[in-house]
Amino acid sequence: MNNEIIKLSKISKKFDGAGKDIIVLKNINLKINKGEFHVIMGRNGTGKSTLSNFITGKDGYNKENGKILYNNKNLDNLLPEERAAAGIFMSFQYPVAIPGVNTMHFLRTAVNSIRKSQNKDEYDPASFIRLFKEKLKIVGLDKSFANRSVNDGFSGGEKKRFEILQMLLLEPKLSILDETDSGLDIDALKIIANGIENYRGKNNSFLLITHYYRILKYLKPDYVHVLLNGKIVKSGDKELALKLEREGYSWLE
C-alpha cells in the first residue's frame, strides 16, 4: 500500500503580472507521507509561500515541467476547491476579513461542502454548534465568536487561531500552515501549537512554513527543510532549525 500524500518535483514558474515569467522554485523534490510533519524554513522571498500557493492551486503560477502528485493523483487540472475537497487545507499568512459573513455559518457551509464531496453525512445545525463549541475551546476562543463576522475586527492572534479552528473542523489530510506563528505572543503561540498537536495523527500530514524556531519548541517535526533561492538546500531534524536560529543561513551558501 502506497503511503504517499504528496510529491512535488522539478521546476515551477511564477508570472510577474507583466507577461514575464520569473522562476521561483527550482528542482524542488519533496515527498510527504501520511502522518509526517515537515517544516520549511528560509529567508524572505526564497519561495516558501510560492510553494504552498502552488500546491493549493492559486492562480498566477505555472509549472514548466515535473509533476505534483497527491495520493498518486496529478493535481495539475484540479481547481483550488477540488483540491480542498480532496483533503488539502492551507492556513493563510494574512487571513482576509469578510464583514457580514457569520463565522459559524461560514464554517458550517465549508465543512458540509467538504463532507458532501466525500459522500459523508452533513451536519445539522444543532450537531455543528456542539462541534463548533468543542473546537473553540481547543484554540482558546470564547463562544462570542459564533456571533462575529469572519476575521472582521479580529486581532492578529485571533485570526491565526481562527485558521487553526478551520483546520480542526475541516479535518484535512494535508495541512499547509503558512507562517501560522508570525506575530504571536507566547501564550497565543502555545495555543496554536496545541491546536496543531491536537490534530496530529497517523492519517494526516503537515507542511509548516516558518521563519523561527520558537514554535518548534512545542512541536515535534519529522523533517526540517531549508529553502534558499528556490531550492531545498538541506534537510534534517529539529536540531537543524535550532542551528538556523543560532547561525542564520549564510553557512549554507
CB atoms within 10 A of CB 115: 16
- Backbone φ and ψ for 23, nearest 5 degrees, come out as -75, 120
Q: pTM score, two decimals?
A: 0.91
Could you give the dihedral angle defined by the CA atoms of residues 133, 90, 155 and 102, in that order, rounded to the nearest 10 degrees? -50
> Each residue of 141-186: pLDDT tens digit?
988 899 999 999 999 899 999 999 999 999 999 999 999 998 888 9
pLDDT over 70 at 84, yes or no: yes
What are the residues facing 39 on neighbouring strands? 208, 224
Q: Where are the alpha helices (DSSP H) in the chain?
A: 48-56, 80-85, 103-117, 125-138, 156-170, 186-199, 238-247
Summarised one tens digit per residue, pLDDT across range 3-34 is 678 777 655 566 555 666 777 788 788 899 99
- Does 1 have pLDDT greater than 50? no
